[in-house]
Amino acid sequence: MRLGLRFDLNCFKRVTQVLQLQLGDKKTNNHFSSYHYTGDKKIMKKVIVIGGGVAGLTAGKHLVDSGKFEVKLLEGNSRVGGRVHTQALGDHFIENGAQWVHGEDGNEIFKIANSLKLLDTEKNNIKFSSDSVFVTESGKVLDKPVHDNVTIILGKILDGPEDNEVEGSVGDWAIKRFNEALDSYPLEKSLSASVLDWIHRFEDNIDGSDNWFQSSLRGQHEYEECEGNPTIAWEPPASYSSLLGVILNGTPTEAPNFQPELPDWIELNKEVQNIEVLDEEATGIRITCSDGSQHTCDHAICTFSLGVLKHFHKSLFSPQLSDIKQKTIENLGIGCVNKLHFDFKTKWWPDSIIGFNFLWNDTDPVAQYWRSDIDDETLRKDIDGFPLWCRNILGFYVVASHPTALNSWITGPASKLIETLTDEEVKDIFMKVCRKFLPNYDIPDPVEFCRTSWFSNRFTKGSYSFRQMKSEENNVWSSELASPILGKNGIPVLCFAGEATHDHFYSTVHGAYESGVREATRLIDLENATAN
């Protein structure tokens, strides 16, 4: 609540500043009347939104609905949705990207989806981590008292630090908290190393970091949880992609394409290569796409992922972004969380199981798979018949939307490495690991397999953003990424939205949504002010 208020006030403050600048300019410069005039005809200002993920679709739709702008959205891919990507698998579907609605109070996505009864709020109260069983390399399931101790310890880490503890990395703090918790909830020594290793992997999946020493505790503390169930699934046939249609035309998107009907202001396969902020002689923006087409506008809203910005910002923007913006892009973090889905002819796991968490033996000293500087050769090194990178596999989990599928998660350098392997290689090794941990089940080969490659995907170059220790050391945060580039006249010409620009809901769909609203509102308010 309190943070929500702060967000609104900041927005208001920014708009006021812009208005002051603009009114000052207005006395001397005629460029900034709210409309161009051709005789009696009022011509609306043009806004181009770049990227058709949740942030871009939301911004575009708000601008169109305001009736004040001529809007175009350029999406590089052949589909909209970005990191919201539902896909058919056999007779059902799976989510390649966003899966859950995280929380209820203050979550705009919950509000929208719940009002249309698209969510499974009744039965899916799964706690992804603690309701799954923990299994060791020898196939032993942890006994209930031990399991309970593990989940209590895990809960203490997931609760996060107190306000006065937020210094250093997530890893340093979590290890300290883990060791303190062991005093009251003891675990046998070798098991405790395996459990700590699993919690490390789990935390990296939540954060999207390579390892938890990379992740800033202060940055993580600034992330705000919405009260309520943190892992709400969509109720089939609704899926995360239903949201795309709801945003664009109020109607949930459906199978089999999971793509909404697109209005004519959205163009697909328009990969933006360069965004040029024109000088004062010709105020505005010129955008060049890879097909050679050029598009000019008065304002643009960029919704590139942080990964795309990291890889391409030098060639994307002319002139180059300011030093502070570049420093922010380079020092905020985005990792590589990949999901793999295995569809079996029939379900071979009991109804009571919602997932298997894999606990590797000898995690110390061999388990260095998470080191950011580890090379591929080391990651491929054989340890007891398995490449080292396997140790980064979190486990196998049931999929709410698919009765015969399991998914698996992997992050960090291992996750990037497997993107370079063939589907067959990856599937075989994951299945071999699964059979090793679950020797008591007769596990058939999957009939279908699919997996994500969020890092090699040139439209994402990563999964979701996090706050690195480097962000903290350089004191660069999302507010810097979110700040618009002003034209010579002080008007915002190039705006930035997307999950990574949100100061407390970063890495989420609701954060992306709010950032789209924020940037559309910035331009609408500006237009209203200049029109009056």
Ligand X SMILES: Cc1cc2nc3c(=O)[nH]c(=O)nc-3n(C[C@H](O)[C@H](O)[C@H](O)COP(=O)(O)OP(=O)(O)OC[C@H]3O[C@@H](n4cnc5c(N)ncnc54)[C@H](O)[C@@H]3O)c2cc1C
Residues that bind ligand X (CB under 6 A): 50-56, 74-77, 82-84, 97-100, 102, 271-272, 303-305, 308, 337, 339, 454, 459-460, 463-464, 498-499, 507-509, 512
Own/partner pairs, 134-138, CB within 8 angstroms, 24+ separation: 134/195, 134/198, 134/357, 134/359, 135/356, 135/357, 135/358, 135/359, 135/437, 135/438, 136/191, 136/194, 136/359, 136/361, 136/437, 137/358, 137/359, 137/360, 137/361, 137/436, 137/437, 138/361
Report in angstroms how near the CB of residue 289 gets to ligand X at its nearest: 7
Per the listing, tokens 């056999």 go with 90
Report in angstroms how near the CB of residue 2 gets to ligand X at its nearest: 21
Comparing CA positions, the residue from 449, 386, 434 lying closest to residue 414 is 386
Report in angstroms how near the CB of residue 77 gets to ligand X at its nearest: 4
Q: What are the strands, taking DSSP E only, across 29-168?
A: 36-38, 41-43, 45-50, 69-74, 86-89, 92-95, 119-120, 133-136
Residue 84 vs 414, nearer CB to ligand X: 84
Please give the Cα distance from 237 to 118 (Å, whole number): 8
Residue 168 vs 236, nearer CB to ligand X: 236
Comparing CA positions, the residue from 81, 496, 456, 213 lying closest to residue 329 is 496
Report in angstroms how near the CB of residue 57 gets to ligand X at its nearest: 8
User: Phi/psi of residue 476, each to 5°?
Assistant: -120, 130
Residue 177 vs 510, nearer CB to ligand X: 510
Report in angstroms how near the CB of residue 314 gets to ligand X at its nearest: 13
- Residue 450 and residue 87 in contact, taking contact as beta carbons nearer than 8 Å: yes
- Residue 393 and residue 430 in contact, taking contact as beta carbons nearer than 8 Å: yes
DSSP codes of every residue in 232-273: BEE-TT--TTHHHHHHHHSS---TTT--PPPPTTEESS--EE
Residue 46 vs 177, nearer CB to ligand X: 46
Residue 55 vs 450, nearer CB to ligand X: 55
Residue 252 vs 490, nearer CB to ligand X: 252
- Residue 321 and residue 387 in contact, taking contact as beta carbons nearer than 8 Å: no
Comparing CA positions, the residue from 73, 84, 78, 83 lying closest to residue 51 is 73
Report in angstroms how near the CB of residue 55 gets to ligand X at its nearest: 3
The two structure tokens encoding residue 442: 């007769």
Residue 50 vs 438, nearer CB to ligand X: 50
Report in angstroms how near the CB of residue 301 gets to ligand X at its nearest: 11
Name residue 209's amino acid. Answer: S
Q: What is the DSSP letter of 385?
A: T
Please give the Cα distance from 24 to 18 (Å, whole number): 10
DSSP codes of every residue in 432-465: HHHHHH-TTS--PPPSEEEE--TTT-TTTSSS-E
Report in angstroms how near the CB of residue 474 gets to ligand X at its nearest: 22
3-state helix, strand, coil in the chain (%, to 5): 40, 20, 40
Residue 57 vs 390, nearer CB to ligand X: 57
Is 292 in a helix, a strand, or coil? coil
Residue 83 vs 201, nearer CB to ligand X: 83
Residue 82 vs 387, nearer CB to ligand X: 82
Report in angstroms how near the CB of residue 350 gets to ligand X at its nearest: 25
Report in angstroms how near the CB of residue 508 gets to ligand X at its nearest: 4
Report in angstroms how near the CB of residue 451 gets to ligand X at its nearest: 11
Residue 77 vs 478, nearer CB to ligand X: 77
Please give the Cα distance from 487 to 480 (Å, whole number): 17
Q: What is the DSSP letter of 140?
A: P
